[in-house]
Amino acid sequence: MVTKELLAAVLFACGMYGARASGQVWVDVRDLHGQRPAWVEEKYWEGQRVWVGPVYRVVCERVWHEAVVKTVCETVWVPAKFGWREVVTYYACGCPIVRRAWVCISAGRFETIRREVVVRPGWWETVERREMVAEGHYETVGGGGGSPVASASVSGGAYTRGW
């Protein structure tokens, strides 16, 4: 947006108020909205530096999650075990006597039983993550060719200028 002060400075610099004057005019580039003023030659116009943000892409991956299990311990009573067994005894004379008797094979006891309970089964999950494609950088918008020295080049052994 051109203000009255800016217009007055330009008219004064151009000599509209009588005697010719020389000087510098300072203009805020943001007020020009990327447009080159007519009184500035294109080779001196640098344009405006604009920040271009980084570019990302979304990458989707399938990830396997193991099942969630819980170990449960229970104490249970195991009853005694009884059964028939052949019991050998001897007489005083040394003769064996074989007889069957009802005996305790294993005594009753408590046992701890461990088992795994599935709290949540295994599952696939699609995970999205951002991956940078291009880094953020500054670009010059609306500029001309720049200074002639900057655009000079050497081609085929001969020196050529860019203006």
- pLDDT 10s digit of each residue in the chain, 163 long? 556 676 666 666 655 555 555 667 677 766 777 677 777 777 777 767 788 999 999 999 999 999 999 999 999 999 999 999 998 889 888 899 999 999 999 999 999 999 999 999 999 999 999 999 999 998 877 665 443 333 333 334 444 444 4
Of the candidates 140, 142, 135, 160, the one whose C-alpha atom is nearest the C-alpha of residue 37 is 142
| CA separation, residue 84 to residues 99, 102, 105 (Å) | 10, 5, 9
Cα 152 to Cα 163: distance, rounded to the nearest angstrom: 8
Of the candidates 139, 113, 130, the one whose C-alpha atom is nearest the C-alpha of residue 61 is 130
CB proximity list for 28: less than 8 A, separation 6 or greater = none
Contact 124, 98 (CB under 8 A): no
Contact 129, 56 (CB under 8 A): no
